[in-house]
Structure 1
Amino acid sequence: MLLPVPATAAPTEQWHLAALRIPEAHQITSGTGVVVAVIDSGVRPHPDLDGQVLAGTDISDKDPSEDNGHGTVCAALIAGRGPAPGKILGIAPGAKILPVRIGNDGGGVAFLRHDEAVRWAVDHGAKVINMSIGVIGRGEATLADAVAYALDHDVVVVASSGNKGADLDEIPAPANVPGVIAVGATGRDGNLWDGTVTGPELTLTAPGVDLPGAYPTDPGKPARYTTIPGGTSASAPIVAGAAALVRAKYPQLSANDVIQRLISTADDAGEPGRDDEYGYGRLNIVKALTADVEPVTENPLGEPERTSDVAIPAPEEERDVTGALLFVAGLFGVFLLLMIGLVVFLFWINRRASLQR
């Protein structure tokens, strides 16, 4: 859901770093220790991502050579190493990227297995998931179940709100699923990008116009870049990077509290309070890292409507305790049966002896 221009030799000016006060934020944390899953077209090699990408998975059944670099662009916006001139610096350069490939071109990916992608990411250590993708109709129900699975396992889910140029007139899944941070795009002036799909599910806005993109580069070749004229696919990973920073600074916080911290510290824009164009406002990363925020007991964005009754696996420690209790209960049951059998046997012996007398 972003339309990059042809590759260039140097990245576009990273104006969003100053706008978001990223140098100040990095004095607090760089996101070290947090894994961010990028469910997208895959993450291909690029010098600015060297050492940042974990071993992921490909469930797309698509030819990797046809990848247009959508996932690589998103990954660098989150965790590009920077900060040397001519290199992309991500919002959370200390974080690691877990790529989950489900297609070739971001907005046009094969959605039939997106629920599997979310569950795989959760099961393989992701604490934040970025999904710069969108689907209307087909597959929405399974996406809601997958989001529920992620939230049940304390994972923050971030998604792009969609681009009008992609023939969308309403916010698509997964961004329209309750509990997901749905992100719209703003320009250099802080105003909403006119291509942003808006609606009641919109949560936050973040820079998404004239941003640099890490264009896939063959190893040993000079780094290639691209420019993002405008797209919510670019603003979503910026918020995902912010979530990684918050999780690194406050590792004890639940996913619900991370979301609350991001939305309660946003700079109000548009109509006073939450509105359909800016959501809770413009992302303010430094404030999210430093403000006093009251804890919450539930997801402030709501809970997904589950369509599946498949039980969510308990955490490992819970399963261990449950197994031990079942084992003890089983032993007690066997002991009880033996005692009953012994009583019946003794009664039979006494009865027989009485008859013989």
Structure 2
Amino acid sequence: MRRALALVLAAAAVLAFAPAAQATPGDAVRDREYWLDDYGIRDAWAVTRGAGVTIAIIDTGVAGGVADLAGAVVGGTDFSGVGSPDGQRPIGENPEHGTLVASLAAGRGTGATSGVIGAAPEASLLTISVGFDGDSDGQIADAVTWAVDNGADVINMSLSRNTLDWPESWDDAFLYAAEHDVVVVAAAGNRGSGSVEVGAPATIPGVLTVGGVDENGQASWNASAQGITIGVAAPSERLVGVTPAGRYITWAGTSGATPIVAGVVALVRAAHPDLDAANVINRIVATAHDTGPAGADFTYGFGYVDASAAVSATVPEVTANPMGDLAEWVRINRRADPTPEPSEAIAAPEREPDRGVPDPTGVLLPSLVSLQLVGAPLFAVALMVFVIGGLAVGAVRGNRSSRSR
């Protein structure tokens, strides 16, 4: 039980963060959101602010009554068993997390130039609270399915299982999302929280995985894990968000980089409503700014996300998700048990009824009828062969005798 609890806490530690103690004055919050300009988000707002798109936040719950999120949450639920039915009562050891994440995705701010504003400030939010107990795997699968069924266009997952693999129940849930053209955006994880390498769901094919960088665009060694499944990089240091109590704090981690990208995905979906999930993701990665250095893909993926280019650039359409094909992965890696199942017995062909007398000893002997039907002809044939053979032998001997004379 202690080992299981430690694993749950390790997963929760990636979901969590270490917020700075100082509060940020409300009138300075917007100025601290450097990513709005540095990553083309403010420019993208000239085209769309994400209206009509719904982002599902699978997390600790998004608190109701927060001024910066007024009108953003349009629905929710709880799978932890300890939250509120609408998912708006924060739960867990780090209850602020879900609200902080939501504010970076679709915060409304408290005025034209004050408060936290998200990357897609007119997008709607669904809040789904989950726990990290012994059935957290099942909760995640149920949460993804619920999000799809309740209108999510984008799913934000600022959490990690801390393992490269994932349970088979996630196969069905994430395939369900892919089949319904829902884009799943997941955090790479944080080195500072013990995640040296990317963990599921960020390792699942088709998921847009987000790595983290600092204000200078350099890899965030404490606030980002590395791995080959990273799709794009986004800010993960000196982030500002709002807590359930309405307090502004600065924090770090790919937990914050992920909703920034989820908001950019919402902008793309709003600007290009006819695109499927594969092409939405393709616009994100195809327009990212390549970092250039060899081997950088492990840290930056395709490069820094660029919201303006993702929304407005001319990008050829694709037929496959550039982040991979989960269905194909399942086909190859979830093969059936190689142990053959017992097959149905094949019925033996019907035999002619035995007309002979069965031999109780089991020794194979001819029956009386078989002797009658077969014995006489065989005897006649044998006699003819004997006579012909004798005549032939006699002829040969006679020939030899005449030659000797």
TM-score range, shorter chain: 0.7 to 0.9
* Contiguous gaps of at least 5 residues in structure 1: 218-222, 310-357
| 1:7–1:224 contact (8 Å) kept in structure 2 | no
Structure 1 residues 74 and 109: CA distance shift in structure 2, 3 A: farther
Check if 1:42 corresponds to 2:61.
yes
Q: Choose the corresponding residue for 2:34, options 5, 15, 21.
A: 15
More displaced, 57-66 or 245-254? Answer: 57-66
Aligned-residue offset at 1:275: 1.4
- Equivalence for 1:97: 125
Aligned-residue offset at 1:257: 0.3
Q: Choose the corresponding residue for 1:72, options 78, 86, 99.
A: 99
When the two chains are superposed, the root-mean-square deviation of aligned CA atoms in Å is 2.3
- Equivalence for 1:334: none
Q: Deviations over 1:132-155 (max 9, x none)?
A: 000034854322332111011100
Alpha-carbon distance in structure 2 between the residues aligned to 1:238 and 1:90: 7
Alpha-carbon distance in structure 2 between the residues aligned to 1:281 and 1:152: 27
* Corresponding letter in the other structure for 1:166: S
Matches within 5 A, 1:54-73: 54-62=74-82, 64=89, 66-67=91-92, 68-73=95-100
- Equivalence for 2:310: 288
In the TM superposition, structure 1's runs of 4+ consecutive aligned residues that sit over 6 Å from their partners are none
Q: Deviations over 1:53-111 (max 9, x none)?
A: 01200111235464421110111101111253330111001100101110389xx9944
| 1:185–1:206 contact (8 Å) kept in structure 2 | yes
Computing the radius of gyration over CA atoms, which structure comes out larger, 1 or 2? 2
| 1:38–1:99 contact (8 Å) kept in structure 2 | yes
Alpha-carbon distance in structure 2 between the residues aligned to 1:288 and 1:52: 23
Q: Choose the corresponding residue for 1:225, options 220, 244, 248.
A: 248
Q: Which has the higher contact order (CA 8 A, sep 6+)?
A: 1
* Contiguous gaps of at least 5 residues in structure 2: 1-13, 84-88, 336-405
- Equivalence for 1:260: 282
Check if 1:113 corresponds to 2:136.
no
| 2:138–2:169 contact (8 Å) kept in structure 1 | no
Q: Deviations over 1:261-280 (max 9, x none)?
A: 00000000142597111100
Alpha-carbon distance in structure 2 between the residues aligned to 1:126 and 1:190: 31
Structure 1 residues 65 and 91: CA distance shift in structure 2, 3 A: closer
Alpha-carbon distance in structure 2 between the residues aligned to 1:127 and 1:90: 17
Check if 1:213 corresponds to 2:249.
no
Structure 1 residues 231 and 216: CA distance shift in structure 2, 3 A: same
The 3-state SS of whatever aligns with 1:184 is strand
* Corresponding letter in the other structure for 2:200: A
Provide the TM-score with structure 2 as the length reference. 0.70
Q: Deviations over 1:218-256 (max 9, x none)?
A: xxxxx311111x200000101100000000000000000
Matches within 5 A, 1:312-351: none
Alpha-carbon distance in structure 1 between the residues aligned to 2:154 and 2:201: 14
